[in-house]
Structure 1
Amino acid sequence: MKRTSQTKDARSSPTQTKETSAKAGYSCWCPETQTAIKLLIAARFTAALMSNISDCDETFNYWEPTHYLLYGKGFQTWEYSPTYAIRSYAYLFLHAIPGYIHSFVLGGNRLLVFFFVRCLLGFVCAFCEALFYSGVRKTFGPNVARWTLVFLLFSTGMFISGTAYLPSSFSMYMTMISMAGWYFDRCEISIVATAVSTFISWPFACIIGAPIAFDCLFLRGRWIFFIKWCLISVLFVLVPQVAIDSYMYGKLVIAPLNIVTYNVFSEHGPDIYGVEPWMFYFHNGFLNFNVAFMMALVALPVAIVTSRIVSGKFVEDNGKLPVWLTMMPMYLWILVFFTRPHKEERFLFPIYPLFCLAAAVTLSCIQRVFHHFISPHKKQHFTVSSDQLAITIGVMFGLLSLSRTGALYYGYHTPLDLYPEILNMAADPKVHTLPPDKPINICIGKEWYRFPSHFFLPENWSLQYIQSEFRGQLPKHYDSSPDATRLIPTEMNDLNKEEPSRYIDVKKCHYLIDLDLPQVSDREPRYSQDTENWQLVLTSPFLDVQMSPKLYRSFYIPFLSRRRNVFANYNILKTRRRKGKKKVATP
């Protein structure tokens, strides 16, 4: 790729919003950073209030331990057993401390704490996106920047990941900070952000930092600088993390090392569950980014071909970073994770912003080629003749994205609508007739993985499991002792083997949450139809995936989706406690 000198306008202040073509005097508009961050905050706050919890890992590995740290009650997974210790409590404290401050200052409504933390995550995400957007504008120019912003704002992938309480989302935040630091020639920011992502959230995030390290070490020769900032990162990030985790587990724990040991060097690794076919990420990527995903995958070859066609100048390059190198973090991640048997949607979260950038690069290249071959006015800025084509693609992307996001909300949001009603139900003496201080068992069977967390339950209510067709290992309640995080729980394994001790007898359940599907088995009867033992309290429609056409359940199409899809009842049931007959004493 030919490196070109930076134009006068590209060297302008960070708030510069227009770049003028030297030939035609055309101003290529893009939003200021202040405008972008307002739009991004609005989008992320909307996601904080409306997005689903799409991964049970988010509930049981993060929301539940955080609830335990705040309120002394919650589920513990095998990853938090001192025997394995592959999760970091330091990461949890980053979220628990703001939750504690909110609870202390504004009262103890746990549901508000949940959404406060979600909104906080949305704000952090928007801030990181704005930094990333500014860096893209500096490096790639206003046209690529404005389309990157469009893809960030409207994509379903960013809607899902932006406010998810997951290490992969945290790594996504750090990816954006790291890339922005790289684009602004502040490699110390990139090194620290990559280290935070690697140590605190996910050690495999170092893959994204590899091209930055290559640039710093081999293209610029800044070895001493690189080593210095790596040591600073270890001192101020890893050392405090190890201290916190070692205190919480009661022994020396280096959580990032334990994660690598389990996933790479253990006999079974992570492939005992979540094994998916090779098409999984392609299918998932299209659902979350539709046409932008396809454009992102071909960004580098399209950029190379375009540079050959149009005078060797690649978009508005800043003359410092080779285009192939800026694309490498995304392609390296794809190379590693697309080839692993264990595939999950959240594994791609760290590169979601890079999908948006790569798609914008491809779209800008398409505009350039269109202008080169179609426009009769070659001296015009290429966007003058090609903006209508780009807008057409952008509108198609936006409509498909909103349709997919709408499908997720209308089809699967019911648990987050229904669980808050439990608080009202518990306060209604006509419904909840038991004494307010009595411990309540609210049970769940096949719907265990849609439980949003104890933040949605009253103080003396506790979730319990009943048997279902799921035969894997379910989380266990933390021990009630003060040093529960240091105790090795019984009946736990790292092989996902079923632990029957998790279940209670359904007769001990005061309430039951169940999706009333027509499919039945010995372990999954239709409790809602058993009116002799259960009384319906609350119900709400939930998409029946097996009975709904793939197209209409994947994308929301007004009028048609409601008609074509099949919905089942998501119910909260109350046990009918029949009074036993009084025994007559014999004389």
Structure 2
Amino acid sequence: MKRTSQTKDARSSPTQTKETSAKAGYSCWCPETQTAIKLLIAARFTAALMSNISDCDETFNYWEPIIICSESYLLRLIIYSMVKGSRPGNIHQLMQFAHMPISFYMLYLATSTHLYLVGTGCLLGFVCAFCEALFYSGVRKTFGPNVARWTLVFLLFSTGMFISGTAYLPSSFSMYMTMISMAGWYFDRCEISIVATAVSTFISWPFACIIGAPIAFDCLFRRGRWIFFIKWCLLSVLLVLVPQVAIDSYMYGKLVIAPLNIVTYNVFSEHGPDIYGVEPWMFYFHNGFLNFNVAFMMALVALPVAIVTSRIVSGKFVEDNGKLPVWLTMMPMYLWILVFFTRPHKEERFLFPVYPLFCLAAAVTLSCIQRVFHHFISPHKKQHFTVSSDQLAITIGVMFGLLSLSRTGALYYGYHTPLDLYPEILNMAADPKVHTLPPDKPINICIGKEWYRFPSHFFLPENWSLQYIQSEFRGQLPKHYDSSPDATRLIPTEMNDLNKEEPSRYIDVKKCHYLIDLDLPQVSDREPRYSQDKENWQLVLTSPFLDVQMFSQQCPFLLHSVPL
């Protein structure tokens, strides 16, 4: 990794470490920003093609509402109902995502529904890659080239970024804003950080303000820029919150301050989000290891490792720009961990906003390991620490990459079935040899225990309606939107804010023309094995699906039809 001449960035960067500057014939190589963004775009486009819809909120709260411009059979979950003090709706996310330029083309010109999802995912992936490139550049300025290049490796290959980068969720949008906010901070453009944090907090997720707290501390108490901070906070409120409140209030027909309602529901209501399930304290540790493997463990110990390393190895760890100490740069991630790891209700997407910070923190730890290795073990003390510790770092990086690709591949091959099978419904409906009913006849396609894997109405032909049958799931199922023009202003009936089962959602299974179900050996009164009922059902399509309870056993994901 030695170089006989320095790169342009290395010559011009004012943030080189003393150790690097002392060796005029060597500069620690890392990719240029232009190269990084090309790699990141390739990674995110791959995710758009291969990633699953892993969260039912993504379908019912985000994919479904964007059909509001052209369809009337929309669904929504209780958490976005206006009834009984529930959160007021996701019109702010609808305005944020649904009116993207690609939407018009795909809704009105494209003929493939799968192409719509992929096209939207690619657009989200491009935005994510751009934000990652900004974040990478900021990391290179503040932490130096070695930390930057390993941050880039973790961003490119981690399963967590693969999942979150193109997900159609507000937590992914908050992740984008996190990267912009951190980049602004690292480049000493705090106004960018303030606006990005405000956009994330107001438009996407109010709890994202936690990430901006260390930036506010730095601006107010370390730099004393009170007037600057207050000015940009007021501008952010005027530019972001005021238009948002106006749009939401118009769409709902009453005053709506969505961020305030979300906080009120989650923090100050009697039950909060716990009615949707609670998880043990180890949940995020398991999830973090699956999505980042060894990088997650390194990220958790980044701050103590960096502090200890700075004491035992000469020279400061963080580049000496005179402004950002390492403990402060690590605070956004640790504050997020402190808040969300201690909440009973846990979901994978709640960690999306700090996924890039996991990558940075892991790179900080790895660089510290390299420095300690060079200081205590390397016989070549005059070499740059990255030269003597290259093999160690590469070994850790290769192990991380293999584990990450293994996990990403397992998600695709084990759980991609819904996005493989549902597109076949369109082909089946157009085949008169299979679908023999009149084309104008209303068709009921039913789901029971597989309701949360429904990808969206994009995959259903015209005149086909999604219906529910009973299963062992006893919570509240999504409900169809009203078809009237002022549907967003109507308070739906037969809804509750306690996640209690609503029997009105179900239809008699005898009224189903088609049924999608997962064929498992476990049966109950509500979940019989429909595949064994040869008198009433015939098999039309199957696709393999990994049953986690059966470990490696492949169970067919079934589509049945009433004998025609």
Q: CA, structure 1 residues 387+558, in 2 after alignment: closer, same or farther (shift >3 Å)?
A: farther
| Corresponding residue to 1:128 among 124, 128, 131 | 131
What's the CA shift for 1:9? 6.2
Q: In structure 2, what is the Cα distance between the partners aligned to 1:531 and 1:558? A: 16
Q: CA, structure 1 residues 83+210, in 2 after alignment: closer, same or farther (shift >3 Å)?
A: farther
Q: After the TM superposition, which of the residue ranges 18-27 and 315-324 deviates more from structure 2? A: 18-27
Q: CA, structure 1 residues 526+90, in 2 after alignment: closer, same or farther (shift >3 Å)?
A: closer
Question: Does the aligned pair in 1 maintain the 2:428–2:435 contact within 8 Å?
Answer: yes
Q: CA, structure 1 residues 64+47, in 2 after alignment: closer, same or farther (shift >3 Å)?
A: same
What's the CA shift for 1:361? 0.2
Q: In structure 2, what is the Cα distance between the partners aligned to 1:208 and 1:100? A: 22
Q: After the TM superposition, which of the residue ranges 354-363 and 435-444 deviates more from structure 2? A: 435-444
What's the CA shift for 1:535? 1.3
Give runs of aligned pairs for residues 429-444 of structure 1, distance below 5 A. 429-444=432-447
What's the CA shift for 1:138? 0.5
Question: Does the aligned pair in 2 maintain the 1:168–1:349 contact within 8 Å?
Answer: yes
1:154 alignment counterpart: 157
Q: CA, structure 1 residues 288+53, in 2 after alignment: closer, same or farther (shift >3 Å)?
A: same
What's the CA shift for 1:91? 13
What's the CA shift for 1:426? 1.1
Question: Residue deviations 1:463-516, cap 9 Å, x none?
Answer: 110110000000100011111111110110110000000011111111110111
SS in structure 1 of the partner of residue 455 of structure 2? coil
What's the CA shift for 1:436? 1.9
What's the CA shift for 1:318? 3.0
Question: Does the aligned pair in 2 maintain the 1:404–1:556 contact within 8 Å?
Answer: no
1:566 alignment counterpart: none
Q: In structure 2, what is the Cα distance between the partners aligned to 1:519 and 1:88? A: 28
What's the CA shift for 1:186? 0.5
Question: Does the aligned pair in 2 maintain the 1:172–1:352 contact within 8 Å?
Answer: yes
Question: Does the aligned pair in 1 maintain the 2:445–2:513 contact within 8 Å?
Answer: yes
Q: After the TM superposition, which of the residue ranges 523-532 and 347-356 deviates more from structure 2? A: 523-532
Question: Residue deviations 1:210-234, cap 9 Å, x none?
Answer: 0000001111111111111111111
1:558 alignment counterpart: 556
What's the CA shift for 1:113? 2.2
SS in structure 1 of the partner of residue 90 of structure 2? helix
Question: Residue deviations 1:190-241, cap 9 Å, x none?
Answer: 0000000000010000000000000011111111111111111111111111
Q: CA, structure 1 residues 159+511, in 2 after alignment: closer, same or farther (shift >3 Å)?
A: same
Q: In structure 2, what is the Cα distance between the partners aligned to 1:104 and 1:471? A: 28
Q: In structure 1, what is the Cα distance between the partners aligned to 2:19 and 2:82? A: 44
What's the CA shift for 1:377? 2.1
Q: CA, structure 1 residues 484+84, in 2 after alignment: closer, same or farther (shift >3 Å)?
A: closer
Question: Does the aligned pair in 2 maintain the 1:4–1:313 contact within 8 Å?
Answer: no
What's the CA shift for 1:456? 1.5
Q: After the TM superposition, which of the residue ranges 22-31 and 362-371 deviates more from structure 2? A: 22-31
Q: CA, structure 1 residues 15+329, in 2 after alignment: closer, same or farther (shift >3 Å)?
A: closer
Question: Does the aligned pair in 1 maintain the 2:75–2:479 contact within 8 Å?
Answer: no
SS in structure 2 of the partner of residue 441 of structure 1? strand
What's the CA shift for 1:283? 0.6
What's the CA shift for 1:174? 0.3
Q: CA, structure 1 residues 382+391, in 2 after alignment: closer, same or farther (shift >3 Å)?
A: same
**Is 1:138 matched with 2:141?**
yes
Q: After the TM superposition, which of the residue ranges 239-248 and 392-401 deviates more from structure 2? A: 239-248
Q: CA, structure 1 residues 118+489, in 2 after alignment: closer, same or farther (shift >3 Å)?
A: same
What's the CA shift for 1:88? 13
Q: In structure 2, what is the Cα distance between the partners aligned to 1:435 and 1:84? A: 21
Question: Residue deviations 1:370-427, cap 9 Å, x none?
Answer: 0001122222110010011000000000000001111111111111110111111111
- Tell me how many residue pairs correspond in the alignment: 539
Question: Residue deviations 1:436-482, cap 9 Å, x none?
Answer: 22221110000001001111212322211011000000010001111
Question: Does the aligned pair in 2 maintain the 1:6–1:319 contact within 8 Å?
Answer: no
Question: Does the aligned pair in 2 maintain the 1:441–1:508 contact within 8 Å?
Answer: yes
**Is 1:305 matched with 2:308?**
yes
SS in structure 2 of the partner of residue 391 of structure 1? helix
What's the CA shift for 1:253? 0.4
Question: Does the aligned pair in 2 maintain the 1:211–1:329 contact within 8 Å?
Answer: yes
Question: Does the aligned pair in 2 maintain the 1:3–1:319 contact within 8 Å?
Answer: no
Q: CA, structure 1 residues 85+303, in 2 after alignment: closer, same or farther (shift >3 Å)?
A: farther
Q: In structure 2, what is the Cα distance between the partners aligned to 1:131 and 1:210? A: 20
Q: CA, structure 1 residues 357+2, in 2 after alignment: closer, same or farther (shift >3 Å)?
A: farther
2:64 alignment counterpart: 64
SS in structure 1 of the partner of residue 371 of structure 2? helix
Question: Does the aligned pair in 1 maintain the 2:72–2:481 contact within 8 Å?
Answer: no
Give runs of aligned pairs for residues 426-505 of structure 1, distance below 5 A. 426-505=429-508
Question: Does the aligned pair in 1 maintain the 2:295–2:400 contact within 8 Å?
Answer: yes
Q: In structure 2, what is the Cα distance between the partners aligned to 1:402 and 1:557? A: 23
Question: Residue deviations 1:42-98, cap 9 Å, x none?
Answer: 111111111111111111111112xxxxxxxxxxxxxxx999999999999999xx9
Q: CA, structure 1 residues 104+495, in 2 after alignment: closer, same or farther (shift >3 Å)?
A: closer
Question: Residue deviations 1:508-561, cap 9 Å, x none?
Answer: 1111101111111111111111111111111011012111xxxxxx9999999x
Q: CA, structure 1 residues 200+84, in 2 after alignment: closer, same or farther (shift >3 Å)?
A: farther
Q: In structure 2, what is the Cα distance between the partners aligned to 1:87 and 1:465? A: 14
What's the CA shift for 1:274? 2.5
Q: CA, structure 1 residues 472+37, in 2 after alignment: closer, same or farther (shift >3 Å)?
A: same
Q: CA, structure 1 residues 22+101, in 2 after alignment: closer, same or farther (shift >3 Å)?
A: same
Determine what percentage of the aligned residue pairs are the same residue: 93
Question: Does the aligned pair in 1 maintain the 2:78–2:499 contact within 8 Å?
Answer: no
Q: In structure 2, what is the Cα distance between the partners aligned to 1:287 and 1:586? A: 41
Q: In structure 2, what is the Cα distance between the partners aligned to 1:314 and 1:104? A: 43
Question: Does the aligned pair in 2 maintain the 1:16–1:32 contact within 8 Å?
Answer: no
SS in structure 2 of the partner of residue 532 of structure 1? coil
Q: CA, structure 1 residues 154+524, in 2 after alignment: closer, same or farther (shift >3 Å)?
A: same
What's the CA shift for 1:315? 4.6
Q: After the TM superposition, which of the residue ranges 188-197 and 221-230 deviates more from structure 2? A: 221-230
Q: CA, structure 1 residues 83+254, in 2 after alignment: closer, same or farther (shift >3 Å)?
A: farther
What's the CA shift for 1:320? 1.9
Question: Does the aligned pair in 1 maintain the 2:546–2:553 contact within 8 Å?
Answer: no
Q: After the TM superposition, which of the residue ranges 27-36 and 359-368 deviates more from structure 2? A: 27-36
Q: CA, structure 1 residues 101+268, in 2 after alignment: closer, same or farther (shift >3 Å)?
A: closer
Question: Residue deviations 1:143-185, cap 9 Å, x none?
Answer: 0000000000000000011111111111000000000000011
| Corresponding residue to 1:84 among 73, 80, 88 | 73
2:230 alignment counterpart: 227
SS in structure 1 of the partner of residue 19 of structure 2? strand
Question: Residue deviations 1:105-134, cap 9 Å, x none?
Answer: 999999x22222111111111110000000
Q: CA, structure 1 residues 43+168, in 2 after alignment: closer, same or farther (shift >3 Å)?
A: same
Question: Does the aligned pair in 2 maintain the 1:202–1:256 contact within 8 Å?
Answer: yes
Q: After the TM superposition, which of the residue ranges 85-94 and 266-275 deviates more from structure 2? A: 85-94
Question: Does the aligned pair in 2 maintain the 1:217–1:226 contact within 8 Å?
Answer: yes
Q: TM-score, normalised by structure 2?
A: 0.87
CA RMSD of aligned residues (A): 6.2
SS in structure 2 of the partner of residue 558 of structure 1? strand
Q: In structure 1, what is the Cα distance between the partners aligned to 2:73 and 2:509? A: 32
Q: In structure 2, what is the Cα distance between the partners aligned to 1:456 and 1:340? A: 36
Q: TM-score, normalised by structure 1?
A: 0.83
**Is 1:51 matched with 2:41?**
no
2:562 alignment counterpart: 586
SS in structure 1 of the partner of residue 127 of structure 2? helix
Question: Does the aligned pair in 2 maintain the 1:26–1:380 contact within 8 Å?
Answer: no
What's the CA shift for 1:356? 0.1
What's the CA shift for 1:38? 0.6
Question: Does the aligned pair in 2 maintain the 1:89–1:244 contact within 8 Å?
Answer: no
2:108 alignment counterpart: none
SS in structure 2 of the partner of residue 159 of structure 1? helix
Question: Residue deviations 1:243-301, cap 9 Å, x none?
Answer: 11111111110000000000111111111122001001001100000000000000000
What's the CA shift for 1:21? 4.0
Question: Does the aligned pair in 2 maintain the 1:284–1:345 contact within 8 Å?
Answer: yes
Question: Does the aligned pair in 1 maintain the 2:82–2:491 contact within 8 Å?
Answer: no
2:5 alignment counterpart: 5
What's the CA shift for 1:340? 0.7
Question: Does the aligned pair in 2 maintain the 1:277–1:341 contact within 8 Å?
Answer: yes
What's the CA shift for 1:322? 0.8
Q: CA, structure 1 residues 159+353, in 2 after alignment: closer, same or farther (shift >3 Å)?
A: same
SS in structure 1 of the partner of residue 61 of structure 2? helix
What's the CA shift for 1:15? 14
Q: In structure 1, what is the Cα distance between the partners aligned to 2:430 and 2:75? A: 39
Question: Does the aligned pair in 1 maintain the 2:159–2:404 contact within 8 Å?
Answer: yes
Q: After the TM superposition, which of the residue ranges 314-323 and 493-502 deviates more from structure 2? A: 314-323
